[in-house]
A and B are shown apart, each in its own frame.
Chain A
């Protein structure tokens, strides 16, 4: 073989560097979250005294639990609605031909790129007037909007790959259109829908601009916004340990999720590109 051990070693070294680059900050924060207040600043990579106090602290008050519930609820509802509406749109794009299709897709993608910050002030005023400010729907509405183009784009890439002739074949075999759809097409479409749902959920979960400007209390404040208050309020007590713990709690599920479904997520992120 042409590949020498020297070259292999070099690639292995590059690998290690890359993984360290991507992961070091993450491991460091995990380490900080297990340190006691006294050893926080000692600079040891592995905590000398292990403690779960930081985790106990964040779950002791509503300051973290309530935003966590808000985040989960808001992101889940927004994802469900966006995926259902997105499926209808993607079906139309993948299956039906009509004039102006390209323009419609263009418009929806343009909306995805629309600077959110320029909508914040009017949304704030409109939502205050309608009584939506600082409520769940107040965040769900803008999230659906910005998640939809993403959902439509990913879903239509997946839908294009479905062998739709199977639907016809099932009907010839005597299935009703409903049966053909639910028994044949739905199972084939499920992975794509699922991937899209994950991506949309992460998108809603990550948002900060709307979360910080369209909420004011724990009634609807989500985790990213709540995190910023972690830093602000504790001038006298050093919050590094608690912030680290909070960051671990909200990051670990996503990372595990991704490890678990990584093939699908990568397929989703590069959808269209791979086959294009």
Chain B
């Protein structure tokens, strides 16, 4: 398979390629050129709709009342912040994010430490551990809903007895469990990368100097890992803040609004309440919040990984 890739292509391409060669010393814009299609494309598809969102957020516009669209200034934002459901959704989002990031990071750290050791079948165990991350999130959510939490078929009740309806009695906790299950592998992989990046010599030196396992972990491994941990937390937070599949499929935000988070509330407002103005205002708020976290994440990424490293 691999040998065939090189053989059949050369003749036609060799005629097309020289065009790019003489331009080597052209101005910097020519050098940026290969980057531009991707960049322009992403900016067009994300920023144009975002500007539209900002525009909508200053309009009073409910699709149920045609012709109702008019400019209202910041009224939507005032309404949104006065809306107790919005505040509830906000609280749920924060809870969901903080708890899930924390728990999945702890589990991830444990698993990464485990995987960093050499043992028979390590690669198989590693694959099995990252499996939850690769399962279609929608399927993962349904899987937990129907096979773990369901009062009659659920493994939790089969295993521990009783007939608790987990999703209506502990909706947020149930969603958290699924999200943690889904995200632990991501944390594991990132932390594992950090673990494998530490120098073996330093670890050996510590051992020679008589440091115990805990001592070595606390004073060498943990400080070295701290950037990876921060990065894992920030990236995890950005994605978990936006979790939508789990809530849509498992609880529909319910019962009542017990497990509604911001993305789901925005969706509900727009696609079930048809209130374009308010849902857009909430969208803008989420974007602002995400950007704040994302800026920190980016700074950290640039420091931790050599993202922009060029020609050596």
Binding site for B on A (CB under 8 A): 11, 14-15, 18-19, 22-26, 28-29, 32, 40-41, 43, 85-86, 88-89, 91-102, 104-111, 113-126, 141-142, 144-145, 148-149, 152-153, 156, 160, 164, 176-179, 181-183, 186-187, 190, 202, 205-206, 208-209, 212-213, 223-225, 227-228, 230-231, 240, 243-244, 246-247, 250-251, 254-255, 258-259, 262-263, 266, 269-270, 272-276
Contacts and interface: CB of A to CB of B under 8 A. Distances in A.
A114 B136 contact: no
A32 to B, nearest CB: 6
Contacts of B20: 177
A134 to B, nearest CB: 14
Nearest to A183: B6
Contacts of B306: 160, 272, 275-276
20 contacts: A22-B128, A28-B148, A97-B310, A102-B307, A108-B42, A115-B241, A119-B46, A119-B49, A120-B270, A144-B45, A156-B307, A179-B10, A182-B13, A186-B5, A187-B5, A206-B137, A208-B249, A209-B263, A231-B146, A247-B139
A202 B137 contact: no
B119 A15 contact: yes
A210 to B, nearest CB: 10
Interface string B273-290: 000100110011011001
Given A113-B297, A274-B197, A224 B138 contact: yes
B137 A224 contact: yes
Contacts of A205: 136
A158 to B, nearest CB: 12
A148 to B, nearest CB: 5
Contacts of A111: 42-43, 46
Given A14-B114, A19-B129, A177 B291 contact: no
B279 to A, nearest CB: 6
B205 interface: no
A41 B5 contact: no
Nearest to B231: A273
B147 A28 contact: yes
Interface in B104-153: 111, 114, 117, 119, 121, 123, 125-132, 134-139, 142-148, 150, 152-153
B16 interface: yes
B34 A88 contact: yes
B308 A126 contact: no
B2 interface: yes
Given A117-B267, A258-B127, 17 more contacts: A18-B129, A26-B131, A26-B143, A29-B146, A32-B153, A41-B153, A114-B287, A121-B283, A122-B49, A181-B13, A181-B17, A182-B9, A182-B10, A225-B138, A231-B145, A262-B127, A274-B197
B267 A118 contact: no
Contact of A176 (B18, B150, B270): B18
Top 10 A-B pairs ranked by shortest CB distance? A118-B283, A178-B14, A178-B17, A224-B138, A122-B52, A273-B193, A122-B49, A88-B34, A43-B158, A145-B45
Find the residue from A14, A100, A126, A182 having the highest chain B CB count within 10 A.
Answer: A182
Interface of B: 2, 5-6, 9-10, 13-18, 20-21, 28, 31-35, 37-39, 41-43, 45-46, 48-50, 52-53, 56, 111, 114, 117, 119, 121, 123, 125-132, 134-139, 142-148, 150, 152-153, 155, 158, 181, 185, 189-190, 192-194, 196-197, 228, 238, 241-242, 244-245, 248-249, 262-263, 266-267, 270-271, 276, 279-280, 283-284, 286-287, 290-291, 294, 297-298, 301-302, 304-312
A230 B249 CA distance: 11
Contacts of A254: 134-136
B39 A26 contact: no
A261 to B, nearest CB: 10
Contacts of B21: 177
B32 A98 contact: yes
A102 B302 contact: yes
A113 B290 contact: yes
